[in-house]
Amino acid sequence: MVGKDIDARDVLDPNAKTRRSFKGHLVGRFKKTGPNSWDDYQVVAEDGGPIDVFPSVKVHVEERGAKFRMRSRGEVLLVQWIPSDEEMAALGEDPDLRQPFLETCVDSFGYKKGIGVTAYIAKTLRR
């Protein structure tokens, strides 16, 4: 992901909501490649240290691993989930963190579906 351009419209598409509070590790920030709002973004890797994540935050869960994107103070951050000591002990040696992360930290998220443009126009014209 580092060095790959990401369309401005896709930098944060929430697909989940945090279920509980947990610790994360800031591993990157999304920075614009130009001055315009439509310019692409790139991930700038960094070791930003620990970060507290609170319940009900809309996040964009990455396709692999236990990483997610979230908005904080006007920036989009890339965060890696850090399991608690108890969770790590339950996972055992060399754990795959994705499944436990999905099961314990996030809930699926979707916007409520509207009636759609065509149905709205038809409904408006019938009045």
| Residue 94 resides in a domain | yes
Domain count, the chain: 1
| Residue 1 resides in a domain | no
Q: Determine the average pLDDT of the residues in 98-127.
A: 75
Residue 117 to residue 53: CA distance in whole angstroms = 36
Q: What is the pLDDT of residues 5-38, one digit of tens each?
A: 899 999 999 999 999 999 999 999 999 999 998 8
| Residue 110 resides in a domain | yes
pLDDT at position 64: 92
| Residue 2 resides in a domain | no
Tokens of 41: 């973004």
| Residue 15 resides in a domain | yes
| Residue 60 resides in a domain | yes
Residue 23: give the domain boundaries.
8-125
| Residue 3 resides in a domain | no
| Residue 31 resides in a domain | yes
Residue 49 has φ and ψ, to the nearest 5°, of: 80, -170
Residues 97, 106: contact at Cβ < 8 Å? no
pLDDT band for 93, please (50, 70, 90 cuts).
Answer: confident
Task: Give me the torsion for CA of 50, 52, 56, 58, rounded to 10°.
Answer: -30
Of residues 87 and 111, more confidently modeled: 87
